[in-house]
Structure 1
Amino acid sequence: MDLRLKDKVIVVTGGAKGIGEGIVRLLAGENACPVIVGRNEADNLRLVSDLKSQGLQVGQVVAELTKPEDNALAVTQVLKRFGRIDGLVNNAGVNDGVSLENGSYEMFLASLHKNLIHYYLMALHCLPALKESKGSIVNIGSKVADTGQGGTSAYAASNGARNALTREWAVELLPYGIRVNAVIVAECYTPLYEAWLQTLPDPEEKLRSIVSKIPLGRRMTTAEEIASAVAFLLSDVSSHTTGQLTYVDGGYTHLDRSL
């Protein structure tokens, strides 16, 4: 299926690694022009170099999105270099374990900056360009908003808010033809996931336990599978889809895990 993404300029926050990298690679392969917005220039350039060596379009902007001013600067740089924005993928974030029992106001607020506030700010600053292009927004979310996890209050709150903002923006932006959707992730193996597993006493046993509870195929979701859903929602092929939370999780969130 032709997703008709050729030459579309799509901003992907946290696009250098993990799920973000999967999204950037797939969009580039669809002949779009993904633009990585990430804090680590070396990581950004590694992926840019690889994709350009394949003759694909890609760009990058260095930004620390926990700093509000960097969000505006990142969007300004994208527009200066590429002249337009056709899509925004809000993806950057981290399950940082800021809990109720062991957290603090300062830790909670810092986590919101890592996981939520830049979702709003990137959409805010991209909005004029998205109005011009009648583009679309895809927010990446987590099943933690639905299921809870324990020990991660700020991340759970951020993901609940991401879901709410997805539907709020879908309503607010209807007059401009801007569609807003979310892709909700459960168990997707990424470098951050691996790092979390390695903090546990028996990482291999924990991974086996998690995989055994994923109904479809008893396996982790891949970054490529997340990316495929994102690309579909960004594209005009999904032209009558807005305000939707799409779970790409092998049935983990909603199906009976005793299946």
Structure 2
Amino acid sequence: MNLNLGNKVFIVTGGAKGIGAAISKTIAAEGGIVVIAGRNKTDNQAIADEIIKAGGKASYFTAELAAPETCSEVIDFAVEKYGRIDGLINNAGINDGVGLEKGSPEKFFQSLQKNLSHYYNLAHFAVPYLKKTKGNIVNIGSKVSVTGQGNTSGYAASKGAVNALTREWAVELLPYSIRVNTVLPAEVWTPLYENWIKTLPNPEEKLAQIVSKIPLEKRMTTAEEIADMTVFLLSNRSSHTTGQIIYVDGGYTHLDRSLQ
């Protein structure tokens, strides 16, 4: 299926690692131009170089996205370099373990800054350009927004807000034919997830326990599977889909618990 992304410009936050890297590479493989935005210059450059070496088009902007002015700079960079923006993929964030008991009001606010504020800020600055291209926004969410997890109030609040903003923005941007959707993963095998598993007392046992609870094929979702859905939503092949929260999780979140 041709997704008609040729020479369209897409900003991917956190686009150098894990799910973000898979999204960046999939966009490029479909002919799109990727602008990778994140805080680590070495990682950003590495994924951009990998895409270019494979025949794709990519550039990067190193930025601490928690700062509003930096979000504006990301948008300016993309427009100055390519003259347009066709899509924004809000992906950057971290499950930082700021809980109700183990956190603090200051840490909770900082978690919101890291995991939520840049979703709004980037969208705000991108909208004038998305109007011109009838582009769209895809947010990357988390199962934590609907299931809870414990000991991660900041991240859960941020991801719950992402779900709400997806529908709010979808309504507000209807007059401009700008679509807004969220892809919501559950258990996805990424380098960050692998590092977390290794910190546990019995990592292999814990991983087997988690995988056993995923109904479809008893396996974790791949980053590429999240990327495939994200890029489909970016394309005009999903031209009448907006305001949706789409679960790519092997049935983890919603299927009957007796299956687990």
Q: TM-score surpassing 0.5?
A: yes
Taking the aligned partners of 2:258 and 2:94, their CA distance within structure 1 comes to: 29
1:101-144 deviations in Å (ceiling 9; x for gaps): 11111100110011101000010011110011100000000000
Taking the aligned partners of 1:196 and 1:256, their CA distance within structure 2 comes to: 27
The TM-score with structure 1 as length reference comes to: 0.99
Structure 1 runs (4+) deviating above 2 angstroms are none
State the superposition RMSD in angstroms. 0.7
Corresponding residue of 2:77: 77
Deviation at 1:258, TM superposition (A): 2.8
Corresponding residue of 2:65: 65
Contact 1:213 1:258 in 2 (8 A): no
> Does the alignment pair 1:90 with 2:84?
no
Corresponding residue of 1:32: 32
Q: Give 5+ residue unaligned stretches, structure 2.
A: none
Corresponding residue of 1:199: 199
1:27-83 deviations in Å (ceiling 9; x for gaps): 000000011001111101111111111211111111100122111111111111111
**Structure 2 matches for 1:134-173, cutoff 5 A?**
134-173=134-173
Matched to 1:70, the amino acid is: T
Corresponding residue of 1:180: 180
Taking the aligned partners of 2:257 and 2:33, their CA distance within structure 1 comes to: 39
Corresponding residue of 2:244: 244
Number of aligned residues: 259
Taking the aligned partners of 1:40 and 1:229, their CA distance within structure 2 comes to: 26
Matched to 1:14, the amino acid is: G
Q: Give 5+ residue unaligned stretches, structure 1.
A: none
1:236-259 deviations in Å (ceiling 9; x for gaps): 000000000000000000012331
Aligned partner of residue 141 in structure 2, secondary structure: strand
Corresponding residue of 2:106: 106
Matched to 2:167, the amino acid is: R
Taking the aligned partners of 2:252 and 2:55, their CA distance within structure 1 comes to: 37
> Does the alignment pair 1:22 with 2:22?
yes
Corresponding residue of 1:128: 128
Matched to 1:242, the amino acid is: T
Matched to 2:195, the amino acid is: A
> Does the alignment pair 1:223 with 2:184?
no
Taking the aligned partners of 1:225 and 1:54, their CA distance within structure 2 comes to: 20
Matched to 2:61, the amino acid is: V
Deviation at 1:204, TM superposition (A): 1.0
Aligned partner of residue 15 in structure 1, secondary structure: coil
Matched to 1:164, the amino acid is: A
The TM-score with structure 2 as length reference comes to: 0.98
Corresponding residue of 1:54: 54
